[in-house]
Amino acid sequence: MGSLRLSVAQTPAELDTTDARLNWLCEHLPQVASERADLLLLPELFACGYNIGETVVARAESLDGPIRAAISKLAQQFGIAICYGFAERSGNDLFNAAVTLSTKGEVLSLQRKLAIPPGYEKDHFTAGQGCAVFECGDFKIATLICYDAEFPETVRNVAGMGADLVLVPTALSTGWSWVAHKMIPTRAYENGVYLAYANSAGVENGMAYLGASVIAAPDGEEIARAGAAPQIIYANLEKQRVAAAQARLPYLNDRHRLNLS
CA dihedral sign, ordered 89, 93, 94, 99: negative
Rounded CA Rg of the chain: 17
Task: Clarify whether 73 is annotated catalytic.
Answer: no
Under a CB-based contact definition with an 8 Å cutoff, are residues 225 and 207 in contact? no
Q: Using CA atoms, how far apart are residues 213 and 85, in angstroms rounded to an integer? A: 15
Under a CB-based contact definition with an 8 Å cutoff, are residues 110 and 83 in contact? no
End-to-end CA distance of the chain: 39
Neighbours of 247 (CB within 10 A): 10
Please state, in angstroms and as integers, the Cα–Cα distance from residue 48 to each residue in 67, 86, 204, following that order.
Answer: 9, 6, 12
Antiparallel, parallel or unpaired: β 133-136 and 107-112:
unpaired
- List residues bridging with 82 in a β-sheet: 40, 101
**Burial of 228: CB neighbours in 10 Å, binned 0-12, 13-18, 19+:** middle
Task: Clarify whether 44 is annotated catalytic.
Answer: yes
Task: Clarify whether 122 is annotated catalytic.
Answer: no
Name the active-site residue from 44, 121, 150, 204: 44
CA dihedral sign, ordered 109, 110, 113, 119: positive
SS3 (DSSP) at 96: strand
Residue 93 has φ and ψ, to the nearest 5°, of -105, 150
Under a CB-based contact definition with an 8 Å cutoff, are residues 53 and 22 in contact? no
Name the active-site residue from 48, 83, 88, 113: 113
Active site residues: 44, 113, 146
